[in-house]
Amino acid sequence: MNPALAMPEAAPPRRRGRIQLLLILMVVIGPMMLATAMYKFSFWVPEGRSYHGVLIGNGQTLADLGVQDAAPQETWQLLVTAPGGCEADCQALVYAARQIHIGLGRDASRASHALAVTGLPADYADKLKQEYPQLKRYGLDAGAYGKSTENLGGALLWIVDPHGNLVLRYDGTTKGKQILNDLRHLLKLSNIG
């Protein structure tokens, strides 16, 4: 037997093994490298979205918003805020928050609704006690609120997660059905609350 003839037969399986190893590494590491590049350089990012409000992705909490006396919660919360008294737009959002809470059906125990204002007229405060017994009420620091919302003005509705983080923000023009759909989607994806 000639040893020179045996060598060329051993070389092709070794090359094939190296190619297979490189392919396996590309299959495993390639998607991670592509995802990192997509994140760093912001390409192939989908333009569409599945929510109707403004996404709050900067880690703001209830305390950053200026909500006072907010006790730790175990549920998702529909929070209505108004920097002034609770005028017509605020009252409409309070009503919408309650209807959305009721609209959750069997998931209603995973959510609550609340109101944070700087002050309430006495007649509306009495109405809230009678007609909205489950509504939680908090104080609101107008200075901190104005700074964190960049003086958007008017009443706003927020979806707050059980850890107290702000998730989505809606103004008075958003339809209740859209907010309900967003909250249902969050509850479906969430293991908390």
Tell me the pLDDT tens digit for each residue of 98-136.
Answer: 999 999 999 999 999 999 998 888 899 999 999 999 999
- For the chain, the structural domain boundaries read 1-45, 54-189
What are the C-alpha distances in Å from 25 to residues 14, 16, 19, 37, 98? 17, 14, 10, 17, 53
pLDDT given for residue 134 in this prediction: 92
pLDDT given for residue 97 in this prediction: 96
Report the C-alpha gap between 160 and 115 in whole angstroms.
12
Q: How far is CA 172 from the centre of its chain?
A: 19
- Tokens in use for 31? 């998607």
Report the C-alpha gap between 116 and 76 in whole angstroms.
15
Report the C-alpha gap between 41 and 36 in whole angstroms.
8
Backbone angles phi, psi at 105, to 5 degrees: 65, -120
Classify domain 54-189 at the CATH topology level: Glutaredoxin (3.40.30)
Tell me the pLDDT tens digit for each residue of 44-70.
Answer: 877 777 788 898 988 899 999 999 988
Banded pLDDT at 152 (limits 50, 70, 90): confident
Please, what sign has the CA dihedral across residues 36, 40, 41, 46? positive
Report the C-alpha gap between 137 and 166 in whole angstroms.
17
Give long-range contacts, CB 8 A cutoff, 24+ apart: 24-32.
Answer: none
**This model's pTM is above 0.85:** no
**Percent of the chain surpassing pLDDT 90:** 59
**170 pLDDT higher than 60:** yes
* Average pLDDT, integer, range 1-15: 59
Geometric angle at alpha carbon 101, from 158 and 119, rounded to 5°: 50
**6 pLDDT higher than 90:** no
Mean pLDDT of the chain: 88
- Write down the residue that tokens 């396996």 correspond to: 24
pLDDT given for residue 50 in this prediction: 79
Tell me the pLDDT tens digit for each residue of 18-51.
Answer: 999 999 999 999 999 999 999 899 888 777 777 8
DSSP H stretches of helix in the chain: 3-41, 62-65, 88-103, 122-131, 142-149, 176-189
* Average pLDDT, integer, range 173-191: 93
Banded pLDDT at 4 (limits 50, 70, 90): low
In total, the chain counts a number of residues equal to 193
